[in-house]
Chains A and B, each alone.
Chain A
Amino acid sequence: MTASNNADLRRLLRGVTLPALLLAWWWAAFRFGWTEAVLVVPIEKVWDTAVRMSSTGVLWQSLGASLARDLAGFALGSLAGFALGIALGLSRLLENLVGPTLHTIKQISLFAWIPLISVWFGLGDTAKVIFLSLAAFFPVALNTFEGIRSVPRELIEVGRVFALSPGQMLRRVVLPAALPSIFNGVHLALIYAWLATLGAEYLLTSGIGIGNLLTDGREHLWMDQVLLGIVMVGLVGFGLNLAATRIETRLLRWRGNSTGQY
């Protein structure tokens, strides 16, 4: 084993120390009856619940419903944000007309929209997807706008020297140069959309989803279900983050390690 392998292994072992201790303490607490609280459940019970809900399909249905809404809202909001971001980035006039209003509306904390949305669109899937689109819209719009404005003038001049048409300029110079920023916005939108999915399921209670599982578990004081829900939420968040990072690395592999030099 090389020295670096040793160091990696040691780091790995240290990393799992805390969770391992926690799990051990949890198991022992129940095994040796250290606590009588109704709320504490043994680890096995959480696992059993997971298996049970998985086999009945409830777990997968809830997960599927949440993810479907999440991705639908994310896609809609991102597309709208992308379109508006480009429009604002290319036209100073539009920026002056729409920009201030956009920045003002952005200030309103996301969840404050839900009661209004529930009045206008009900409590079902439509309302949720609209809310999620709103959550994804702002980061993409603002980052796309920022990206287009930050395209280095020097590269635009190269485009002019080679007599590129406005369409070619947009497609071959502006958008590729803005892509890192746009992707930043998309990544943020993904995070906010998942956050919003949960919140929407708490507040717009009709339908099924992970959030509903959590609310359900809380109301019935089913700690195992709540803990399971939290783990699922974390896993999905982690998965989405990982996917976004991977895609970003592939799409932007031309960046190398250094910051952009032109």
Chain B
Amino acid sequence: MAHAGTLEINNLSKQFRVKGQSLDVLDNISLSIKPGEFISIVGASGCGKSTLLRLVIGLENDYQGEILLDGKRVVGTSLERGIVFQEHRLFPWLTVAQNVSLGLLNADLPEREKDRSVQEHIELVGLKGFEGAYPYQLSGGMSQRVAIARALVNRPEVLLLDEPFGALDALTRNHLQQELQRIWEQEGITAILVTHDVDEAVYLGDRVVIMEPRPGRIKRTVDVPLPRPRDRGSYAFAAIKDDVLAEFADTPPVALVTPPQTVSDWQFAW
């Protein structure tokens, strides 16, 4: 079991310079994530959610505010924070096993330990038997699973996922969401998922953070107090989903039929 990290984001702001003009991408984002929590961030394109992840992972470093992991300031990339991108980004010249072991390249472990960990994680994502395959031989879903194994193999404290299933077909997506759910429960790490798919966000998250664009701000946070694994068909699930979707719709949310309040409400008129 990896140690789950506590992530604090305080008053995070970021601008991009586009042709001499300054563009506000993120405006005063504050988020507090407990260890082992699964946060889903939903928003339309352009709300800065990917930028937020890139700041947390350390690929971008120019910002105002604070990002703290376990109380320490985040500076640049580190093996304590892992990420799964929307493209699988596997190295085409390495086999599945070699790709996964990339995560352990700079880890301080004996070779045998590394090999064992690699094998463990390949089995964790359900790809046992494919250790020697090259990426060109894998389907999109399988490649993404390898990417997940690679991100987890060095047991990071926080796992970031940037629209990881966006490039896959709907059936594979559904299946991998369930897989991710299972893997997260088993590993017990803190996870942040960025997606534009509300269904996915509610299915996986303990909390759903709703962002709005231009500039990127947190609009609202919705709790998802449902037991896992979640039933997408249940009334409670649909209610939460509608709640989130309402933030993005022009029309007001459809009012559900209100249950009767008093005896006299359902008494016949005569």
Contacts and interface: CB of A to CB of B under 8 A. Distances in A.
Q: Do A and B bind each other?
A: yes
A262 B102 contact: no
Closest 3 interchain pairs by CB?
A256-B136, A254-B93, A176-B93
B89 A179 contact: no
Contact of A161 (B59, B90, B93, B135): B59
Interface string B76-104: 01110011010111111110000000110
B105 interface: yes
SS class of chain B's interface: helix, strand, loop or mixed?
loop
Interface range, B side: 20 to 34
Interface of B: 57-59, 77-79, 82-83, 85, 87-94, 102-103, 105-106, 134-137, 154
B117 to A, nearest CB: 14
B77 A179 contact: no
B103 A162 contact: yes
18 contacts: A154-B87, A157-B59, A160-B77, A161-B59, A162-B103, A162-B154, A164-B105, A168-B106, A172-B91, A176-B91, A177-B91, A179-B93, A256-B134, A256-B136, A256-B137, A258-B136, A262-B88, A262-B89
A175 B93 CA distance: 11
B66 to A, nearest CB: 21
B85 A154 contact: yes
Contact of B105 (A162, A177, A260): A162
Interface in A191-233: none
A255 B136 contact: yes
A254 B132 CA distance: 11
A173 interface: yes
A260 B58 CA distance: 27
Given A161-B77, A256-B137, 6 more contacts: A154-B87, A154-B89, A158-B85, A161-B58, A261-B135, A262-B87
A161 B82 contact: yes
A177 B90 CA distance: 11
Contacts of B94: 254
Contact of A168 (B59, B90, B92, B105): B105
A261 B93 CA distance: 11
Interface in A234-262: 253-258, 260-262
Contacts of B105: 162, 164, 168, 172
Nearest to A257: B136
B92 A164 contact: no
Given A154-B89, A157-B59, A176-B93, A163 B136 contact: no
The DSSP consensus for interface residues of chain A is helix
Nearest to B82: A161
A206 to B, nearest CB: 46
A161 B57 contact: yes
A180 to B, nearest CB: 10
A257 B137 CA distance: 10
A262 B92 contact: yes
Contact of B106 (A162, A173, A177, A255): A162
Given A256-B134, A257-B136, A258-B136, A163 B89 contact: no
Contacts of A172: 91, 102, 105
A116 to B, nearest CB: 42
A155 interface: yes
A161 to B, nearest CB: 5
A157 B86 CA distance: 13
Contacts of B135: 254, 261
B106 A161 contact: no
Contacts of A158: 85, 89, 91, 102
A82 B82 CA distance: 35
Nearest to B90: A262
